[in-house]
């Protein structure tokens, strides 16, 4: 069997996400297994760039390709437009490769059509294509976000703030050291290899990479000395305020990165119970903790929204990093196309149920942390406010170094904090002893 080209693999992954409902990260992981790093990097960049600007790419295509377009041809055009507009590939290369890909997928009869559409696109001044006059529609198309979300953001933050937030694309991959390997050793390694990076302003353990280093192929990743984790996720763990000897519950723990960092912050002492609903995600936690040599954790399967009397009043700290829309995570751009406004309302109910139940697991004087990886007032402040109104024994307990920049808790914005969009709030349970 003839080996598939890199663009054919990218095409398959793109269609897995857009036409078959798969998650981009999982589809890429399956497709890139065992592949040369240079090919894997190109495919990943092509898929992610296309998904990150999918609505704008489709707007360009619709301006030149009239009528019904077959799904596979639409996907080929999407990749071609992405390479030309977003990746600065030469026009002749884009047109030639799009035609080759059309033939490779068995649609040779449509080579002329694809060539004609791509040549017209490449020969046009795309900056002059008229976007809608309506602000919401214009920003929705230009930055590829659903209209309901753009509308919410403008109502909350204003047009200019929303535009700057949607346009921001400065976040790269972030890594950290896992003890006993240190941040100093990690930065020394990167300096020695001439790899450009910056350290996080909120969490110095966060090492933000710009280019030239594939951590997951490095021996230090494989042997558990470093791992990939966002600065915002690390900050949530810092907010937990854990210290050696504590008993902690990570209530929605997959894939295990926060559990591992919490263990590190606790000096690998005390104990953490890592809870996860789905068995296959329990395996993800176990694999993460095994690779990072974390020993003070028990991993268990269970529903965080269903009361377990054995956990009642038990924990010094409970972390609820709740299932959410994921709109704040820049590398999960496919979430933008999978969630509706009604889906958000359903998520809010789940989040509140989990938070309410897990509040029962906090011992008197203990802490309950609620976080999401999204920018959504409904999922964030509204859930937190409802929890406070219905749970008299809890109050907000945000340390001074955590800016309380919303009605309640801390909201991170990509263009302001150079992190994923993340929300976090820390509650304290009043002590029964007066």
pLDDT of residue 29: 86
Known catalytic membership, residue 358: no
Residue-wise pLDDT tens digits, 151-208: 999 999 999 999 999 999 877 889 999 999 999 999 999 999 998 999 999 999 999 9
What residue spans in the chain does CATH classification 3.30.70.1170 cover? Answer: 174-228
Residues 246-253: what's their mean pLDDT? 97
CATH topology of domain 6-128: N-utilizing Substance Protein B Homolog; Chain A (1.10.940)
pLDDT in tens, 337-351: 888 999 999 999 999
241 to 236, 391, 423: CA distances (angstroms): 9, 22, 16
Q: pTM above 0.85? A: yes
Pairwise CA distance, residues 337 & 149, whole Å? 11
Please list, in sequence order, all residues whose beta carbon lies within 8 angstroms of the beta carbon of residue 217, skipping any fewer than 6 positions away: 37
Average pLDDT for residues 94-101, to the nearest whole number? Answer: 96
Q: Which residue has the tokens 């214009």?
A: 138
- DSSP label of 266: T
Beta bridge partners of 42: none
Average pLDDT over residues 354-372: 98
**pLDDT score recorded for residue 406:** 63
What CATH number does the domain located at 231-429 have?
A: 3.40.50.150
Instruction: Please say if the pLDDT value at position 211 is more than 80.
Output: no
Strand, helix or coil for residue 56:
helix
Using the predicted structure, report yes or no on whether residue 149 has a pLDDT greater than 60: yes
As annotated, the residues of the chain forming the CATH 3.40.50.150 domain(s) are 231-429
The size of the chain, in residues, is 434
CATH number among 3.20.20.70, 3.30.70.1170, 2.60.60.20, 3.40.640.10, domain 174-228 = 3.30.70.1170
CATH 1.10.940.10 boundaries in the chain: 6-128
CA separation for the pair 33, 220 (Å, rounded): 19
Active-site residue identified among 82, 252, 348, 373: 373
């Amino acid at each position: 069997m003839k080996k598939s080209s890199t663009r054919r693999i990218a095409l398959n992954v793109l269609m897995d996400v857009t036409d078959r409902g798969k998650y981009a990260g999982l589809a890429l992981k399956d497709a890139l297994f065992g592949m040369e790093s240079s090919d894997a990097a190109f495919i990943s960049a092509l898929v992610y760039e296309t998904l990150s600007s999918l609505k704008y790419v489709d707007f360009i295509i619709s301006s030149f390709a009239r009528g019904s377009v077959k799904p596979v041809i639409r996907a080929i055009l999407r990749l071609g437009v992405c390479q030309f507009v977003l990746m600065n590939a030469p026009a002749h290369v884009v047109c030639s490769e799009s035609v080759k890909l059309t033939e490779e997928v068995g649609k040779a009869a449509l080579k002329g059509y694809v060539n004609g559409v791509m040549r017209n696109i490449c020969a046009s001044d795309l900056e002059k294509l008229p976007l809608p006059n309506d602000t919401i529609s214009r920003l929705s198309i230009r930055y590829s976000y659903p209209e309901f979300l753009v509308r919410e953001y403008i109502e909350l933050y204003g047009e200019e703030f929303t535009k700057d937030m949607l346009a921001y694309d400065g976040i790269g991959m972030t890594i950290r050291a896992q003890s006993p390997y240190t941040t100093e050793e990690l930065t020394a390694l990167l300096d020695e290899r001439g790899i450009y990076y910056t350290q996080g302003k909120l969490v110095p353990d966060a090492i933000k990479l710009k280019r030239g280093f594939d951590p997951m192929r490095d021996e230090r990743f494989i042997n558990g000395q470093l791992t990939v984790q966002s600065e915002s996720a690390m900050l949530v763990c810092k907010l937990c305020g854990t210290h050696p000897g504590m008993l902690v519950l990570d209530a929605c723990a997959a894939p295990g990165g926060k559990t591992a960092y919490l263990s590190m912050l606790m000096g690998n002492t005390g104990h953490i119970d890592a809870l996860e609903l789905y068995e296959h995600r329990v395996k993800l936690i176990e694999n993460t903790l095994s690779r990072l040599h974390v020993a003070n954790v028990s991993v268990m399967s269970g529903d965080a929204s269903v009361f377990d009397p054995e956990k009642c009043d038990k924990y010094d700290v409970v972390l609820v990093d709740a299932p959410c829309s994921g709109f704040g995570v820049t590398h999960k751009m496919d979430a933008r196309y999978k969630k509706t406004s009604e889906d958000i309302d359903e998520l809010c109910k789940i989040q509140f149920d989990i938070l309410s139940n897990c509040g029962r697991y906090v011992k008197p004087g203990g802490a309950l942390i609620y976080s999401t990886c999204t920018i959504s007032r409904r999922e964030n402040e509204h859930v937190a406010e409802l929890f406070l109104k219905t749970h008299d024994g809890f109050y907000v307990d945000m340390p001074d170094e955590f800016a309380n920049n919303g009605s309640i808790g801390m909201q991170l914005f990509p263009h302001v904090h150079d992190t994923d969009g993340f929300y976090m709030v820390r509650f304290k349970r009043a002590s029964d002893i007066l």
